[in-house]
Amino acid sequence: MKKSLFLLLSFFALVSCSKDDSSAPTFGTGPLEKVVFYRNSSNEIHWIFENKLLTKITLADGTLVEAFVYDALKRVIQDKKYTNGLLTGTDVITYNSDNTIKTINNLPYTFDAGTRTYTYTYGSDFTINCEVNKDFLAVNFTRLGSNPGEYHLTYVNDNMVNYQKISGGTTEEVKNYYFDAGFGGNPVYDMVLAVARVKSLTDPSFFSDCQVSKIVANGFDKGSSHPLYYNYGVIPDIEGNLFQIGVEVQDSDDNNVAFYSFADYYYL
């Protein structure tokens, strides 16, 4: 069943290609304006882009969830959080001359270039250690003391192949992502890097949908103990925009198949 579904979605990806018979799906040529995740579900969220940068995250009705402010070097200097559309908090970020993060809300972070690890200690309450990769994206994040937790991310060829969230010693979430070089480059990769570098230290759950990978994922599973796996295909909608359609399959029951929209890409 897995093979037949993969072939089906491979066909979807091929028919969405440009007419030059390239094997990779062709995203729009104009500036990316918005990506809609999980359309028509309770988890629907919109990412809004301006000048090739992620500037806002909203609910389906346009209610603000988060907004990002950049400096002249396209680094995030403010991460504004909203509840019910009302501003409830702002993270203010400063940088060192080498572009590593210096402070968040005036609290100092140190960066060890040898181990590529940020460290922050809040007195005797808690300590944060975050190892990052060459693009300053979280690899191993640990919080010790109050509200302990961990995130572990594995990258291969600049693509996140594994994401794990652990809280209080219990694994809460696992995602193993799969990639095919012919499946197409990720159109939001460069546009979200600045945000992801901050989220590496403040909220690594930002990585859970694999949007900071250079190639669009063509599927994932939730670990060997989970009965579901997911395959993606990329097809054009009636307006010519592309969207990722997902197939959810119950391993133990090949008849349990559900199609859903994962991400719709809208261009100006």
Q: What tokens does 74 get?
A: 């396209």
192 vs 215: CA distance, rounded Å:
14
Q: Are strands 149-156 and 138-145 parallel, antiparallel or unpaired?
A: antiparallel
How confident is the model over 133-159, as pLDDT tens digits?
999 999 999 999 888 999 999 999 999
User: 3-class DSSP state for residue 151?
Assistant: strand
How confident is the model over 207-255, as pLDDT tens digits?
999 999 998 888 888 888 877 777 766 665 555 566 666 665 555 445 4
Whether the Cβ atoms of residue 152 and residue 133 lie closer than 8 Å to each other: no
Supply φ then ψ for residue 173, to 5 degrees: -150, 135
- pLDDT mean over 94-117: 96
Q: What pLDDT, on a 0 to 100 scale, did the predictor assign at position 11?
A: 35
How confident is the model over 74-93, as pLDDT tens digits?
999 999 999 999 999 999 99
What Cα–Cα distance (Å) separates residue 249 from each residue in 42, 71, 195, 221? 20, 44, 32, 10
How confident is the model over 121-131, as pLDDT tens digits?
887 788 999 99
Average pLDDT, the chain: 83
What Cα–Cα distance (Å) separates residue 229 from each residue in 11, 56, 221, 247, 260? 19, 30, 4, 8, 13
Task: Give Cβ neighbours of residue 209 (< 8 Å, ≥ 6 apart).
Answer: 37
Question: What pTM does this model have?
Answer: 0.84
pLDDT tier at 1, thresholds 50, 70, 90:
very low
- What residues does 109 pair with on adjacent strands? none
Q: What pLDDT, on a 0 to 100 scale, did the predictor assign at position 241?
A: 61
